[in-house]
Amino acid sequence: MAFLSGLSAFPITPSDRGGHVDTAALKRLVTRLCTAGVDSIGLLGSTGTYMYLSREERRRALSVAIDETGASIPVVVGVGALRTDEAVRLAQDAKASGAAAGLLAAVSYAPLTEDEVFEHFSTVARESGLPIVIYDNPGTTHFRFTANLVERLAHVPGIVAIKNPTEKPEEISSHLAQQRSMTPKGFPIGYSGDWSAAEAMICGADTWYSVLAGILPDVCLRMVRAAQNGDVEEARRLDATLSPIWDLFKQFSSLRTVYTIADLLGVSKAEPPRPILPLPALAKEKVAHCLTLLEQDLA
């Protein structure tokens, strides 16, 4: 199996009000992912609130995940930061801790030019020696990667894969074909956006970078395996079963929803870092109802 192909599960990073990581709760989350047998773990992704945690807390979280997975499951870790030197240090920490790769987003405050993003990514790859996954997440960074920039970056030594944002299901096939034609042979191309992931995997994407898999890995893994085995009908059936969850993600954001699911499942009572607020009671009931339905459907 190619590097980082299949299901990459992105757990939350439980932390207290002061931004101190709850390592016991994180360990529970990682153990669930190991037990399910996901193909990789996406630690400290956007769902893992990496931008809200200090360097020291990120290092603590990574250490727990690496201890728990051992050599069995690769850990990809968010190393994004506003400053290039800080991203380099985070990538160096990740390499020293044994992460398989670093997820690097074009985090910005002052809007960045294409050349600035190119320099940023090249510098982090070169100065850390950590394999870097391009993390294209315009919903949080507001930076838009052009096809041309992806092509330039994909040929930089040490930049090894891409995590694309959600594409409309009907556009994934052509997007994937175009990106394959502009990236080196074997360059793993994956997608975020859980609600169009089934279609992405059916179209032949290498990786599903999944928020839901961070808390409900089993059903996500069944969907990925069905798509990988060419069982399109079963992949679409499971995707349809999950559509109430996708609706919650769209209404409340996937981040706020999975915090609530983790709470309802008794895995973690943590709230997202402020200013992000936990879902209000009515929304929480709606999530609970969806979970019950899902359990029945999958029984």
In the complex, which residues of this chain contact a copy of itself (CB under 8 A)?
Answer: 17-19, 46, 49, 51-52, 82-85, 107-113, 115-117, 119-120, 123, 139-142, 253, 255, 272-277
Select 103 or 205, whichever has its Cβ closest to a copy of itself: 103
Select 17 or 185, whichever has its Cβ closest to a copy of itself: 17
Q: Least distance to a copy of itself from the beta carbon of 255, Å?
A: 6
Select 5 or 13, whichever has its Cβ closest to a copy of itself: 13
Q: Least distance to a copy of itself from the beta carbon of 7, Å?
A: 23
Backbone phi, psi, residue 11, to 5°: -80, 160
β-sheet bridge partners, residue 43: 77
Candidate list 135, 191, 209, 259, residue with the active-site label? 135
Is 163 noted as a catalytic residue in this protein? yes
Q: Least distance to a copy of itself from the beta carbon of 263, Å?
A: 18
Backbone phi, psi, residue 166, to 5°: -55, 130
Select 52 or 98, whichever has its Cβ closest to a copy of itself: 52
- Which ranges of 37-131 would DSSP assign to H, the alpha helix? 55-69, 84-97, 114-128
Is 185 noted as a catalytic residue in this protein? no
Contact call for residues 134 and 151 (beta carbons, < 8 A): no
Candidate list 163, 191, 259, 284, residue with the active-site label? 163
Select 110 or 299, whichever has its Cβ closest to a copy of itself: 110
Residue 113 labeled ligand binder: no
Residue 249: partners with Cβ closer than 8 Å, 6 or more residues away: 194, 195, 211, 212, 257
Q: Least distance to a copy of itself from the beta carbon of 154, Å?
A: 19
Q: Least distance to a copy of itself from the beta carbon of 123, Å?
A: 8
- Could you report how far apart the first and last alpha carbons of the chain are, in Å? 30
Q: Which two structure tokens, joined as six digits, stand for 69? A: 């997975």
d(CA 150, CA 22): 36
Q: Nearest-CA neighbor of 79 among 98, 95, 65, 66?
A: 95
d(CA 221, CA 31): 15
d(CA 136, CA 113): 15
d(CA 106, CA 116): 10
Contact call for residues 122 and 91 (beta carbons, < 8 A): no
Residues in the chain: 299
Annotated binding site for pyruvate: 47
Annotated binding site: 47
Catalytic annotation, residues: 135, 163
